Chains A and B, each alone.
Chain A
Amino acid sequence: MLLGWWALTISGVVARDLLPSPLDVWNAAQKIVRDGYRGTTLWGNAWSTVGRLLAGFGLAALVGVPLGLWMGRSRAVGAAIDWIVQFMRPLPPLSYMILLILWLGTGDGSKVALLFLTAFPIIVAASAAGVRSVSALRIQVAESLGASRAQILRHVVLPSAAPMVLTGLQVALAAAFSTVVSAELMAATDGLGWMVISASTFLRNDVIILCILILGVLGMGLAWMLRLLDRRLVHWRGRL
């Protein structure tokens, strides 16, 4: 891919301004790392993006997992909340982004809220489904060994639901990641998405490509970390 890109740029088929060569991007990267970009640093911007992502996603996980587990356990709670989750889930988060900006401003508040709303329904739905799919036989076995309701919840229901909860977290992280960048493209004063939009007004396509590469690597890294956690926590996934 890198070779194709490089060949395309030196052959002159595409104008240098539109598609900078790998070398141009490398040079831009070195310059930005050294001098910063329009008063901001690359790491600062990357950190802004990741910080928002982790804040919104983390909050959604913190609230969404317990709520989802509770919904899965209690029919009444499930019925009360499920329709809200089902309504939120198909909505593209950017459709209500503008409201959040009006209410919470263009700073971190509106973005964290947006990411929370993106990740939350996914996490809640997956956690509730995880609890509902717990094998009735496992629960009967635990009951017949004298387990109390609390013991069944802790020793049987929670571990049984764990694989689905972790899947939900991974899907939610991917959704939140694409939302955070889109949100920064719409309105922000820092972050990698902001860098892309800012660079586009100056036709600095080398910077745009640099940002895209960093975003890709960041996304891969975060997903990889969750997968690692998944493999450690639910080593039995798909095996029984």
Chain B
Amino acid sequence: MSAASVRPTARDFVRFDGVSVRYGTGTSAVQALERADLSFAAGDFICIVGPSGCGKTTLMQTLAGFLKPTSGEVSLEGKVVEGPGPERGVVFQQPALFPWMTVAANAGFGPRLRGSRDVDARAETWLRTVGLWEFRDRYPYELSGGMQQRLAIARALCGEPKILLMDEPFGALDALTRERMQEELHAVWRRTGMTVVFITHSVEEAVYLGTEVVVMSPRPGRIVDRIAVRFAREMAEDGIRAVKSDPEFIATRERVLSLIWQMGET
């Protein structure tokens, strides 16, 4: 738990300053997050891992604006987060689509709320990107689980956020679909240079998708380590499979895993 491994970043695109979150009061109070300090640059792909109850979702919720820190503050581009906003797109483990809207209407929901004129064009762009254009007139319940999650991602991206917050987005998918989705997300990130914060249970996923892996520990939830990873930036064409057999990849994965094992549970 050395503070030395927490390195300062050149740009403070996102900053968590001593962010604590406490649920409840008195003896039943739970310290979900204790004095979290974290900052990262635009274009980073930050993966957050840690056992259940380590506060990773809580951390993300303060950035999304769904949760107010008990103390400390979170800022994006120097602006303190006061609530949810369209510059921060979110994707949950559940796709949480709007079943009364067609696929196209789901995708274009954000821009339509703001009365944008290019709703259709934007929806088309993102639906094509995630391979759902031919399903534009269908309803979400006619899609498979993986397609539903792709639509949830397209909907978030269509809102043109500056940062994409993903809370175990592939956690409910089968292994094959999951791998394909990882490739696709990675391709979108490479092409757009979007900043992503990605919560996952899978250390492997974190190590090949992230430019940095943030390790958290539970009771109370805190950040214990940050590990810079190079695979995400290098993995242009050889894909996930090639990276997985790289000895350095394996070493990094084992390092993160042993950090988590030291906490006594996985």
Give me the interface of A with B, judged by CB distance under 8 Å: 135, 137-138, 140-148, 151, 155-156, 159, 162, 234-236, 239-240
Q: A145-B113, A236-B99 are in contact. Are A140 and B90 (CB under 8 A)?
A: yes
A240 touches B141 (CB 8 A): yes
B152 / chain A contacts, CB cutoff of 8 Å? 141
Q: Quick check: A144 and B85 within 8 Å, CB to CB? A: yes
Q: In the complex where A137-B96, A156-B98, A239-B99 touch, is A145 in contact with B86 (Cβ < 8 A)?
A: yes
What count of chain B residues pass the 8 Å CB interface test?
A: 28
Interface residues of B in 104-163 (CB under 8 A from A): 109-110, 113-114, 139-141, 152, 155-156, 159
Residue B50 is within 8 A (CB to CB) of chain A in the complex = no
Residues of A contacting B98 with CB < 8 Å?
A: 138, 155-156, 159
B21 at the interface (CB under 8 A from A): no
Within 8 A of A (CB), among B50-74: 64-66
Q: Which of A140, A146, A236 has the largest count of B CB atoms less than 10 A from its CB? A: A146
Cross-chain contact A144 with B86 (CB below 8 angstroms): yes
CB of B154, distance to nearest CB on chain A (Å): 12
When the two chains form the complex, which single residue of A144, A145, A155, A240 contacts B140, counting CB atoms closer than 8 Å?
A: A240
Q: In the docked arrangement, what's the CA distance between A141 and B100, Å?
A: 15
For A138, list chain B residues within 8 Å (CB).
Answer: 96, 98
Given known contacts A135-B96, A156-B98, A159-B98, is B90 in contact with A144 (CB within 8 Å)?
Answer: yes
Q: Which residues of B contact A143 (CB under 8 A)?
A: 65-66, 83-84
Instruction: Identify 28 residue pairs between A and B in the complex whose beta-carbon atoms are under 8 Å apart, listed by A's number.
Output: A137-B94, A137-B96, A140-B92, A140-B96, A141-B90, A141-B92, A141-B152, A141-B155, A143-B83, A143-B84, A144-B65, A144-B90, A144-B156, A145-B86, A145-B155, A145-B156, A145-B159, A146-B85, A148-B113, A155-B109, A159-B98, A159-B100, A235-B100, A236-B139, A236-B140, A239-B99, A239-B141, A240-B141
Q: How far is the CB of B5 from chain A (nearest CB, A)?
A: 31
Quick check: B89 and A144 within 8 Å, CB to CB?
A: yes
- Specify which of A144, A147, A151 lies most central, judged by the most chain B CB atoms within 10 Å of its CB: A144
Please measure, in the bound complex, the distance between the C-alpha atom of A155 and the C-alpha atom of B139, giving whole angstroms.
16
A30 to B109, CA, bound (A): 59
Docked Cα-Cα span, A199 to B150, in Å, equals 66
What is the bound-complex CA distance between A236 and B90, given in angstroms?
24
Q: Judge if B88 is at the interface, Cβ distance under 8 Å.
A: yes
A-B pairs under 8 A by CB, number:
71
| Complex Cα–Cα for A234 and B92 (A) | 24
> Which residues in A have their C-beta under 8 angstroms from that of B140?
236, 240
Within 8 A of A (CB), among B74-104: 83-86, 88-90, 92, 94, 96-100
Q: In the assembled complex, how far is the CB of residue B38 from the closest CB belonging to chain A, in whole angstroms?
A: 20
* A144-B88 in contact (CB<8A): yes
Which residues of chain B have C-beta atoms less than 8 A from A240's C-beta? 97, 99, 140-141
**Chain A residues positioned under 8 Å from B139 (CB to CB):** 235-236
Seed contacts A140-B66, A143-B83, A236-B100; 16 additional CB < 8 Å A-B pairs: A138-B98, A140-B96, A141-B90, A141-B152, A141-B155, A144-B65, A144-B159, A145-B109, A145-B155, A146-B85, A146-B159, A148-B113, A155-B109, A155-B113, A159-B98, A234-B100
Closest to A238 in B: B141
Is A146 within 8 A of B110, CB to CB? Answer: yes
In the complex, A151→B156 CA distance in Å? 17
Residues 171-200 (chain B) with a chain A CB within 8 angstroms: none
Question: Which residue in chain B gives the minimum CB-CB distance to A148?
Answer: B113
Evaluate contact between A146 and B113: CB separation under 8 angstroms.
Answer: yes
Collect the chain B residues with CB atoms within 8 Å of residue A146's CB: 85-86, 110, 113-114, 159
Chain B neighbourhood of A145, CB < 8 A? 86, 89, 109-110, 113, 155-156, 159
Task: Looking at the assembled complex, report how far the CB atom of A130 sits from the nearest CB atom of chain B, in whole angstroms.
Answer: 13
Rounded to whole Å, the gap between the CB of B95 and the closest CB of chain A is 9
Query: Roughly how many angstroms separate A238 CA and B83 CA in the complex, as a whole number?
Result: 32
Q: What residues on A are CB-neighbors of B97 within 8 Å?
A: 240
**Complex contacts, A135 vs chain B, CB 8 Å:** 96
Among B64, B99, B114, B141, point to the contact of A144 (Cβ < 8 A): B64
Contact for A147 among B90, B96, B100, B113, CB less than 8 A: B113
Chain A positions within 8 Å of B94 at CB level: 137
Q: How far is the CA of A145 from the CA of B113 in the complex (A)?
A: 8
